[in-house]
Amino acid sequence: MSITKTEYREYVLGMVDDRQRQERQHHHQKAGFVHIIEQVLEEYELAPRLAAAKTDERAKLKILDVGCGEGLYLHDIAQVLEGRGLAQIASLYGIDINQAMIETAIEYTRLSKPPRPYLTFYLHDIRQPLQSQRGLFADGQPHFDFIYARIVLSLVSQARENLERLYASLAPGGVLYVRDLILGPDEAAVISPHPALAKITNLGFGLLKELNQGVQVATATAEWLRQAGASLVQAMPDKMVLGGASKAGMDNLNDYLAGVRASIPLFVGQRLISQNEVDCLMAQLYRELSPSCQGHQLYIDTLARKPA
């Protein structure tokens, strides 16, 4: 891949609004997510349960996306189930604390191809019991068969309590999937593509660590689930390249920078850094960013099943 320094930095530093950022991140991460879903269906035996539900309406399965954002990953599950002829055998729900995100998720159920009006979204704070959102239980079924939370638990306080509450909401034999990032600046987990970017992102890592008294939620999740009684617990590292000369690395770095930009007002508002400092760091990044700048971010995908 041949690209000049100017073309590189204009691509990587290109401005996108938050909605575009969410859509692009989903586009880049969809394949990995679908791979996890196939693993849940086969290795964790959700597919046979769905097939059995074809002949028993009372056995219809429930799937929940925690912190669903715009609901795009729930569409991925729907697409996989549609391809297997199982879409009508499951109720698919998404919850998020952001009203604007929920409204967008509902809008996408109309705009998707095909439209998916059977996807249902509710406003809900995961720090509150799921039972407090009555819409999730209007079908009379008290538990879920598959729950997943992508980049959610490490972003809120009381991560362990929230995780245990989700696990308790699984039906016997139900599956839980959690994805979280390991918070820097540990170089085994995070290497920033550029020192100017590191100075900003480390502010965010510091704030997030404070939420759970310094605990690395991503690496603790598997053990928390084992202690809760889960079986088939797997913790799978996923290293995401940031920068470099590959198209995937450039895309990831663009997504990463979009997230950094979205966080800057918070850092400035809390007086962790001044706007002038931010402007100087971003100007330095613009001058020096090139295909030779490469780093990575480490995520942990954790899967577990509740014993039948």
Predicted local distance difference test score (pLDDT) of residue 186: 77
pLDDT at 213: 93
Q: What is the pLDDT along the chain (308 residues), one digit of tens a residue?
A: 578 888 898 888 887 677 777 888 888 899 999 999 999 999 999 999 998 888 876 778 999 999 999 999 999 999 999 999 998 899 999 999 999 999 999 999 999 999 999 999 999 999 999 999 999 999 889 999 999 999 999 999 999 999 999 999 999 999 999 999 999 887 778 899 999 999 999 999 999 999 999 999 999 999 999 999 999 999 999 999 999 999 999 999 998 898 888 899 999 999 999 999 999 999 999 999 999 999 999 999 999 999 98
| pLDDT score, position 188 | 77
**Which pLDDT score is estimated for 19?**
77
C-alpha 189: how far from its chain's center? 17
pLDDT of residue 4: 86
- Provide the β-strand partners of residue 146: 63, 175
CA distances from 175 to 72, 160, 214, 269 (A): 20, 17, 27, 40
Alpha helices in 169-241 (DSSP H): 195-211, 217-227
Determine the pLDDT at residue 151.
95
pTM of the model: 0.94
Cβ(190)–Cβ(298) under 8 Å?
yes
d(Cα 8, Cα 249) in Å, to the nearest integer? 11
**Domains in the chain, please, with CATH?**
5-305 (3.40.50.150)
Q: Rounded to an integer, what distance in angstroms lies between the CA atom of residue 39 and that of residue 303?
A: 9
pLDDT for 1 equals 56
Could you tell me where the beta strands, DSSP code E, fall in the chain? Answer: 61-66, 90-96, 119-123, 144-150, 170-181, 190-191, 231-243, 294-305
Q: How far is the C-alpha of 165 from the C-alpha of 161, rounded, in Å? A: 6
184 closest CA partner among 297, 266, 95: 297
Confidence (pLDDT) at 2 = 73
Tokens of 189: 């987990």
pLDDT of residue 57: 66
Per DSSP, what are the bridge partners of residue 237?
Answer: 300
Provide the residue count of the chain.
Answer: 308
Distances in Å between the Cα of 110 and the Cα atoms of 74, 117, 120 are: 14, 7, 12
